Structure 1
């Protein structure tokens, strides 16, 4: 496998390894050997080392002296910490959209949601492919909101959450196939609240779905650790 621009080589390697972690091909606690990865991808060991540092910042790996990089654990504590801040940031994004745009000017949001629903309706039975497509479509809706808000700091912060959130979504989808339909319902309710210009309803929709996802993942972790 060879990687090319426009993204940096280290970023491409990080995305490759990160995706394997997200879909649980690499398990929590599993060691990632720089030399082995460099050989498999035909890249330098230095590029792999830089990629692992990127993944550490995204909370997908931990790097220990003399032991190297290992896939980070997904624990109840880390899940709670993730959803505490992610839900608040999504609520902030929603508020900023409604502060800048009236409901009549948000028809594009509904168009984005219809595209997401079309993706959900066309999905096959492969859980990995389904999760990836739904996550991509969901972040497509969020990117539309970024353009409306024009806050690069909020956009960058939320985008940096994508690997960790994607990881929890895969965990939930492995056990609850209904999560795909729940996701479609969430975005429809979100778009309805946005078009109505109802900030309180929009935040409630975000909080309810975020807490639903949190509860699903925590229940799975409790079951796996029993």
Structure 2
């Protein structure tokens, strides 16, 4: 049995600020003032300071002497470094799932994927929270896969990537609303490969989708910096 410790106040603050960064409510280069955050949330400055250190470890803020915390910028270098590792980790997770569970025994995963597909198909691309809902649903499938693989090191590593990768997903989905339907197609291809137990096809689907996301994010950054 695994016991989940209650989230600390600092972690809750970090998640709140992190979500604002992911959705670009707090924009790159914007300063995060400890005193204002503490007042807005009715918490101590010490808790806010700890939350900012958490966000720094998640590569969402940078902390400078005498200047404080600033929302980190997405750069071509950081996006490429992120996707280089993240795609490989997703392929490893998928491979481990198939190694431990034959396709016909993955009914739970297939149920998760079908729910996600139904949600995407019914979701209007103009809905204000469309990108967030698609991202959350995708990570829901991943969390289910963690339970099948039972590798705490792989799970922790992937979860540590979640804020940074969510940020890039949001950028892509917010600019290219047609990609919401494309995400549904990705999960259909994923489920087909799982049912067939085809590890090579599964990795090809993941790599193709990851590289597609990478290219889109990079194109957006180049356009913004032009």
TM-score range, shorter chain: over 0.9
- Residue 114 of structure 2 is aligned to residue 110 of structure 1: no
Give the distance between the partners of 1:87 and 1:205, measured in 2 at CA.
11
Give the distance between the partners of 2:72 and 2:133, measured in 1 at CA.
24
Instruction: Return the TM-score normalized by structure 2.
Output: 0.95
Gap change, CA 1:54 and 1:128, over 3 Å in 2:
farther
Compute the displacement of 1:165 (Å): 0.9
> How do 1:66-81 and structure 2 match up within 5 A?
66-81=66-81
Give the distance between the partners of 1:46 and 1:184, measured in 2 at CA.
42
Give the distance between the partners of 1:58 and 1:128, measured in 2 at CA.
26
**Partner SS, residue 85 of structure 2:** helix
Give the distance between the partners of 1:81 and 1:67, measured in 2 at CA.
27
CA deviation digits over 1:24-47, x for unaligned, max 9?
111111110101100011000000
Maintained 8 Å contact 2:121/2:184: no
Which residue of structure 1 aligns with residue 151 of structure 2? Answer: 151
CA deviation digits over 1:136-183, x for unaligned, max 9?
111111111111100011011111111111111111122111111111
- Residue 32 of structure 2 is aligned to residue 35 of structure 1: no
Which residue of structure 1 aligns with residue 133 of structure 2? Answer: 133
Which residue of structure 1 aligns with residue 57 of structure 2? Answer: 57
Maintained 8 Å contact 2:27/2:71: yes
**Partner SS, residue 183 of structure 1:** helix
Give the distance between the partners of 2:166 and 2:179, measured in 1 at CA.
13
Which residue of structure 2 aligns with residue 8 of structure 1? Answer: 8
Compute the displacement of 1:125 (Å): 4.6
**Partner SS, residue 70 of structure 1:** strand
Give the distance between the partners of 1:105 and 1:207, measured in 2 at CA.
24
Maintained 8 Å contact 1:112/1:141: yes
Give the distance between the partners of 2:58 and 2:127, measured in 1 at CA.
23
CA deviation digits over 1:198-224, x for unaligned, max 9?
010000000000000000000000001
Instruction: Return the TM-score normalized by structure 1.
Output: 0.95
Which residue of structure 2 aligns with residue 204 of structure 1? Answer: 204
**Partner SS, residue 161 of structure 1:** helix
Compute the displacement of 1:126 (Å): 4.7
Give the distance between the partners of 1:9 and 1:172, measured in 2 at CA.
31
Q: Is 73-82 or 102-111 further displaced after alignment? A: 102-111
Give the distance between the partners of 1:192 and 1:106, measured in 2 at CA.
12
Maintained 8 Å contact 2:91/2:206: yes
- Residue 206 of structure 2 is aligned to residue 170 of structure 1: no
Compute the displacement of 1:127 (Å): 5.1
Which residue of structure 2 aligns with residue 220 of structure 1? Answer: 220
